[in-house]
């Protein structure tokens, strides 16, 4: 008798779930030209995208994200690729699925639009809602296992993304906010506190709440401690490999894989349920974490 495939939420109940690392920097290292939307490579250079996904699964990732961080219509319109939304997102799922082991998962990656609500910008909540709903439907129809809404700087935009994903169906939703460390604590660039973000995301229907990008793995430890105090939902953490530094005209992330993995252990000890890497990380970082977490 066939049994239903478990959800990634079931896996979270069994052990700490390991995600992937950075995607954009890996594409650039393989030749993605400056100014080219990374999602276009899902169609024009699928083998290169596939190899990056495979390298993360091989390193020990339980789940890997689609190459769709900037795959919404608003984002692609800004790069004159708005007519490729469905093609880029559908192909992205196909590529990850083709190398996903049977016991692993595919996350549909949804990033911010780059637009802002008044008084900072001219975008509207309806703009955000329509934008995210379109991408979420495509990702869901092509077979993702969960949504990963990430690097959100405005809780109102994050809320719109979660609500849109929830309309699509009963697919787990991870919602990850990017915070800055200030003298007053951790806040988004729009001034949203951890507590405010948690309250809104829980009400919107997020299944997992997290933080990613902007800060390094050492500062992420303290953030996760505060995040755990604010919610009983599973927590996800994807920090950067330190704060970026400019060396000889090149952006460098200073935290090496060993130190990053040690920080991840402390993040897990702070009761994070899902971990991975953001800017500056690569399969070496994920492999080092896997060695520790999976023994």
DSSP secondary structure string for all residues of 119-137: TT----HHHHHHHHHHHHH
Whole-structure pTM value: 0.96
Picking from 72, 145, 49, 152, the residue whose alpha carbon sits closest to that of residue 103 is: 145
Residue 75 tokens, joined: 């984002």
Per-residue pLDDT band at 2 (split at 50, 70, 90): very low
pLDDT tens digits, 101-152: 999 999 999 999 999 999 999 999 999 999 999 999 999 999 999 999 999 9
Residues 6+ apart with CB under 8 A from 42: 49, 67, 68, 88, 91, 92, 95
Q: Residue range 32-46: average pLDDT?
A: 95
pLDDT tens digits, 201-242: 999 999 999 999 999 999 999 999 999 999 999 999 999 999
Torsion sign (Cα): 115, 96, 51, 13: positive
- Kindly give the pairing relationship between strand 208-216 and strand 235-240: parallel
**Domain residue limits, the chain:** 8-293
Is 50 exceeded by the pLDDT of residue 3?
A: no
Is residue 151 within 8 Å of residue 193, measured between CB atoms?
no
Q: 38: how many CB neighbours lie within 10 A of its CB?
A: 21
> Long-range contacts: 199-203, Cβ < 8 Å, 24+?
200/155, 200/158, 200/159, 201/155, 201/158, 201/159, 201/162, 201/175, 201/177, 202/231, 202/233
Average pLDDT, the chain: 95
Is residue 21 within 8 Å of residue 246, measured between CB atoms?
no
Is residue 50 within 8 Å of residue 99, measured between CB atoms?
yes
Residue 185 tokens, joined: 């604590």
CATH number for the domain running over 8-293: 3.20.20.330
Residue 170 tokens, joined: 């009963």
Residues β-bridged to residue 255? none
Torsion sign (Cα): 37, 82, 163, 161: positive
Is residue 227 within 8 Å of residue 198, measured between CB atoms?
yes
H or E element, residue 211? strand 208-216
Q: Residue range 54-78: average pLDDT?
A: 98
- Kindly give the pairing relationship between strand 180-182 and strand 250-252: unpaired
Per-residue pLDDT band at 248 (split at 50, 70, 90): confident
Is pLDDT larger for residue 4 or for residue 284? 284
């Amino acid at each position: 008798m066939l049994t239903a495939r478990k959800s990634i939420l079931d896996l979270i109940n069994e052990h700490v779930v390991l995600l992937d690392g950075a995607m954009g920097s890996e594409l650039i290292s393989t030749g993605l030209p400056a100014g080219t939307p990374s999602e276009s490579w899902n169609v024009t250079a699928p083998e290169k995208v596939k190899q990056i996904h495979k390298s993360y699964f091989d390193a020990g990732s339980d789940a890997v994200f689609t190459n769709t961080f900037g795959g919404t219509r608003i984002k692609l319109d800004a790069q004159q690729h708005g007519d490729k939304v469905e093609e880029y997102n559908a192909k992205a799922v196909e590529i990850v699925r083709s190398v996903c082991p049977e016991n692993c998962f595919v996350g549909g990656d949804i990033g911010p639009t780059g637009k802002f609500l008044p008084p900072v910008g001219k975008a509207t909540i309806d703009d955000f809602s329509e934008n995210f709903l379109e991408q979420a439907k495509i990702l869901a129809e092509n077979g993702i296992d969960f949504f990963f809404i990430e690097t959100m700087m405005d809780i109102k935009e994050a809320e719109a993304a979660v609500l849109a994903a929830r309309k699509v169906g009963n697919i787990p939703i991870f919602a990850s906010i990017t915070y800055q460390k200030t003298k007053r604590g951790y806040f988004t660039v729009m001034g949203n506190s951890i507590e405010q973000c948690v309250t809104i995301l829980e009400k919107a229907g997020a299944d997992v709440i997290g933080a990613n990008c902007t800060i390094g793995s050492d500062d992420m430890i303290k953030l996760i401690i505060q995040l755990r105090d604010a919610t009983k939902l599973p927590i996800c953490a994807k920090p950067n490999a330190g704060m970026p530094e400019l060396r000889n005209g090149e952006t460098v992330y200073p935290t090496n894989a060993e130190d990053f993995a040690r920080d991840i252990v402390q993040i897990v000890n702070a009761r994070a349920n899902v971990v991975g890497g953001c800017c500056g990380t690569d399969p070496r970082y994920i492999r080092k974490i896997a060695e520790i977490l999976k023994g």
